[in-house]
Amino acid sequence: MTPFTAALTNIRTAMLAKNPFVCVTIAFICGILFYTNSPITLPPNAFVGILSAYGIFCIALSQQIARAHITLLISWFVLAGYVNSVIHTHHYSTMPEGKYVQGTIVNSPEEKAKTYKCLFESIESGKACKAVIYIQKDSSAKQLCYGDVISVKNTFREIENSDKLPFDYKRFMNNQYIFSQAYVPTKNWKYIGHANSIFSFCMNIRKQCLHKLHDSGTSEKTLKLISALAFGDKSLLDEETKNNFQTAGAMHVLAVSGLHVGIINGILFFLLSFMRNRKILWLKILICILGIWAYACITGMSPSVQRASIMCSLISIALLLQRRTSTYNTLAVAAFFSLLLSPNDIFSVSFQLSYAAVLSIVYFGQYIQKLYTPSTPIGSYVWGIVAVSLSVQIGTIPLTLYYFGIIPTYGLLTNIIVIPLAFVILLCVILVLTFSAIPFVAEQIAHILNFVTDYLQDSIADITTFPHAQIDLNITQTQSVALYICIGLFILVLESWRQLQIQKNLTRL
């Protein structure tokens, strides 16, 4: 057997034996993609019936042909992905024709130059209708928040692409089941009330946290950054700050993701370190899991936060059960449940970048880390960040070039600076909120928080002034896929080389 064949066999065996859920998730994704490219018009109940009947057929046939059960299982999940997309698509519709439409604001209104941008959702004839509305600025519109119920005069129109945007904006919004948009003057809407929900409650907690931070002496500039960095709400950030972070390669810090969830999880474990008795280990882990998911809800439950929260929860449960976990399998479980709740997330830029980054870190990180062994703790820290950053670049560069058309030249330097500062900022936010009842202590921590956030933003701004801070390079979707094929071939070569080394070591024994 050649090293190349051995590598293929090893990958296939490891995938099936150690990571069965990877195959299930890939099959589920294939079903979603099949529906996108070839939708069949049938009622959802008919598809559910077909899925159930095929499931019974698979069980019956697998009893007769033992070797067919894996193929049948995979094919069933392909069909399940297709049916799941059918059900979700059937649940949404365009905004109805009529004089007034009553619905709920399901995001934190984003302030624009002359309007407030809101995501408006209404239930009509048993179907959810979502639209982006731009409400004219006035004192009443300024008070709107997540969960407010308003009545809007029907001035909706179909979402259209803009010549100013280089990508397919209409398709991007349609993938989120948003088909309509409208400009709403002051006279064309009225406030009805407030709808209480879990997310509305969480958004209210977010607002209260920001108020406590403000009352403790946190500056307005710091609050805007914290709103994005700690709570996932970038609506308060100005375009200059967003552009600086993008140019410096630090946008991942503003998008709440696995980095933030990991820091929160680590802080919770540290605060509960006094619970050392194994008999109450389950309580410690339960508190950490609840804390992670509470934080996920407060930040808006983005795909990256969902993925990180599911992974942390599974790892914590495995720790409780004293079982080893496969990172690939855990990642696949997280992706599966995310797509089960929202199949069109597969087309989300944040979803794709998030999973591409983590997969790349898990695979390439181990090889890059071994290329150099620092002799000092500081050197180990710096090389660790460099290794992770390089790994992320390998896995995400095709997507970054396709969607954004830029390469941050000083991304490695940026990560060395911003990652520890992000940890300090999150820790200070937690401490300010914890000691908010003791004004003197909270104010002293707020001063530190102001200093660290100012230093972070000034550092980012300085990096953007460096020569050739970013390289502009646009590629097509086909070229992006071609790059991923090249990465896949490189992995095969790397695995072949590893198999060759294993064979050489065995022959020496």
User: Which of 99, 97, 92 lies closest to 127, judged by CA?
Assistant: 92
How far is 471 from 483, CA to CA, in rounded Å? 18
Q: Within this chain, do residues 112 and 190 fall inside the same structural domain, yes or no?
A: yes
Q: Token pair for residue 95?
A: 């905004």
Burial of 214: CB neighbours in 10 Å, binned 0-12, 13-18, 19+:
middle
Of 195, 212, 246, the position where a domain reaches its end is 195
* Residue 76 main-chain phi, psi, to 5 deg: -65, -40
Outline where 322-376 has alpha helix (H): 327-341, 349-369
Which residues lie below 8 Å from residue 382, measured CB to CB, with a gap of 6+? 374, 416
Q: Within this chain, do residues 212 and 327 fall inside the same structural domain, yes or no?
A: yes
Q: Within this chain, do residues 45 and 105 fall inside the same structural domain, yes or no?
A: no
How far is 476 from 498, CA to CA, in rounded Å? 33
What is the DSSP secondary structure assignment for residue 195, as one 8-state letter?
-
How far is 286 from 277, CA to CA, in rounded Å? 14
Q: Token pair for residue 372?
A: 């150099």
Domain count, the chain: 3
Q: Within this chain, do residues 312 and 175 fall inside the same structural domain, yes or no?
A: no
Q: Residue type for 479, please?
A: Q
User: Which of 101, 214, 200 lies closest to 144, judged by CA?
Assistant: 200
Q: Residue type for 493, please?
A: V
Q: Within this chain, do residues 65 and 129 fall inside the same structural domain, yes or no?
A: no
Q: Is 0.85 surpassed by the pTM of this model?
A: no
What is the DSSP secondary structure assignment for residue 42, as one 8-state letter?
-
Contact 64, 14 (CB under 8 A): no
Is residue 499 a part of any domain in this protein? no
Q: Within this chain, do residues 364 and 445 fall inside the same structural domain, yes or no?
A: yes
Contact 171, 178 (CB under 8 A): no
Which residues lie below 8 Å from residue 1, measured CB to CB, with a gap of 6+? 9
Of 90, 124, 147, the position where a domain reaches its end is 90
Give the number of other CB atoms < 10 A from CB of residue 223. Answer: 17
Structural domain boundaries enclosing 124: 100-195
One pLDDT digit (tens) per residue for the chain, 509 residues: 565 565 556 655 555 567 778 888 999 999 999 888 887 777 778 888 888 888 888 777 766 665 667 777 888 899 999 999 988 888 888 887 767 888 899 888 888 888 999 899 988 878 888 989 999 998 888 888 888 999 998 778 888 877 665 667 788 888 888 888 889 898 889 999 988 877 778 778 888 888 888 888 888 888 888 888 888 777 778 888 888 888 888 777 777 777 778 777 777 777 777 777 777 777 888 888 888 888 887 777 766 677 778 777 877 777 666 666 677 888 888 888 888 888 988 888 878 888 888 888 888 888 888 888 888 888 887 888 888 888 888 888 888 888 888 888 888 888 888 888 888 888 888 888 888 888 888 899 999 999 999 999 999 988 888 888 888 888 888 889 999 999 988 888 887 787 777 777 767 65
